[in-house]
Amino acid sequence: MQRIGIITKRNNRKALEIGIKLCDWLKERGLEPFCESELATAVGLPEFDKEGIAEQAELIVVLGGDGTLLSIARHIQRSNLPVLGVNLGGLGFLTAITLDELFTVMAEVLQDKYTLNPRMVLKVELKRGEEIVLSHNVLNDAVINKGVMARIIDLETVINHHLVNTFKADGLIFSTPTGSTGYSLSAGGPIIYPTLDCITVSPICPHTLSNRPIIFPPDVTIETTLTSTDSDDVYLTLDGQVGCAIEPLDTIIISRARHELMFVTAPGKTYFEVLRSKLKWGERYSNHALS
């Protein structure tokens, strides 16, 4: 590995300081860092956008949190690009490597002493008439939901051309296993081990309580059409970061992307340890909290 991409959390002084140290550490070893504008200016390197970094780098290091990692994930289009997520605050689901582990793990990665954790990615398209007006990849989820004042919406959902249901709900969540601990979990969806391959569809506040989350195999094509002709406040949100308005009779097409995202595995840390920490499993309320 010679070309190392570095993505830092925006407007975060700590992330910038660590990014500067990492750039110096890499240059001392004859390696070439690729950085966005803020870090590139600080260390005197040419600046690249996220798409350029994803195309040029042989390894991407993310300094921030899960949101920072998601911001680069949608630009990655190949399965042979390792991503090392470093959490600068609490333990993250995606950025599970701590700051104290950064340089030790980096030294091991540069010696090819690491393992990769493949994560499924979804391709999301918005079709209006015969035109695809939006196409993105998501690592966590794609969400259809109504605005605050909009009435309940009808979402006709078809799997491989077979009708599943017309959901009457506040919306639908299409989630990868990686995203199962996000919005899908709060809507009653299951926690799915992240290296499994499947797609979860979770209704948001369904009008019929028997409409529960459904898990589908990874190679299906899911098409959901907004059939409510009087709905004018409905949105599609991708990984919580990219969004657009949906018009009546628009169709959202969900399928498996051609590539996977490859995470560098955190040393000595299991997925269940992350779950216990983030979801507070095994903790009890103190007497003070109960009083």
Q: Which residues are catalytic?
A: 66
Task: Classify the phi-psi angles of 259: left when phi > 0, otherwise alpha if psi is within -120 to 50, otherwise beta.
Answer: beta
Q: Residue 191 in contact with residue 213, Cβ under 8 Å? A: no
CA distance 279 to 252: 31
Tokens of 153: 């919406």
Q: What is the dihedral of CA 14, 243, 161, 202, to 10 degrees?
A: 60
**Strands 251-256 and 32-35, bridge-based pairing:** unpaired
Nearest to 85 by CA among 50, 56, 116: 116
Amino acid at 77: Q
CA distance 73 to 176: 13
